[in-house]
Structure 1
Amino acid sequence: MTSGSGESAARRPAPLSEAVSNQMKRMRRASTKPELLIRRELHRRGLRFRINHPVLPGRPDIAFTRARLAVFVDGCFWHQCPKHGVMPKNNREWWQAKLRRNVERDREKDAALTALGWQVRHFWEHEDPVAVADEVEQTWRHLRTPPAPVSRSGRRL
């Protein structure tokens, strides 16, 4: 999960309190609990992957390089989950712009990965890790399965 876009501190509004500031500083950007649960389940199934692959657009949370499958586990707050996303009351305009930009950046990195021949999957942090692993494994198996041979006449064998 990613949480920031690197705005300079000068453009950020002042935090409401020191407690709010400390809470925001403690939020993890990578290896969050939902990510760890999904990764653990995928690993248990024998799937091997790269974590936060630095060469790929958006640094996918989980990347299956041979299958060209990028998986993102999106935080409900940071990526505006329709079920659980909330808008802060303080500095509302700033947060609206920031969170809207996070979603725009998600679409940009998806397009960049797709242009490189990658399949992209997004999951919300609240989704069941086993169900997420089921879908990821199914997609991974589909991408790793070679196409059926074709005869000279063009029919599948």
Structure 2
Amino acid sequence: HEWTSKEKAVAPASMADKIIVLDDDDDENDVEQRPQPSSSVHRPKNVSLPKNQHLVQTHNTQSPFSSAKKNTKALQVENQKLFDEFVQHCTPLTTECPEVLTFLQTKHSKACPDYLCSVEFRNALGQCLTQAQSNVTKTFVYISELCTVLRQ
């Protein structure tokens, strides 16, 4: 039996503690509602990350209109620092194809200075950095995503 994209494999409720769902679909357009587990299913309450991993929120949650011009220089410095951190993180992971980082750095150097100082760029950069750090197998995907953002 071949699975279609809409079919789901279902395990008995007694196995709920032993099942790990790996869902890498970032499909936000999927209108299909996923069933919620029943309250009788036992789930572990304390889930912790391995000691060498920690998640840090790297995007700005403030409204870009709250402090319009006062933070431009601070954002420029912070965005440059984050960009440098992104490149530093990706460098050892792209040794077989270093030209992708050269391409990214060229895009960055040619980008509109106003955009490089924006909250929008800060949020996109922070999201790419967080995702790249948590999923090293998709490094090239996040480099490409950042290149796309820099074309604006």
Fold in common (TM above 0.5):
no
Q: Which has the larger radius of gyration?
A: 2
- Give TM-score, length-normalised by structure 2: 0.27
| TM-score normalized by the length of structure 1 | 0.26
Q: Whose strand fraction is larger, Structure 1's or Structure 2's?
A: 1
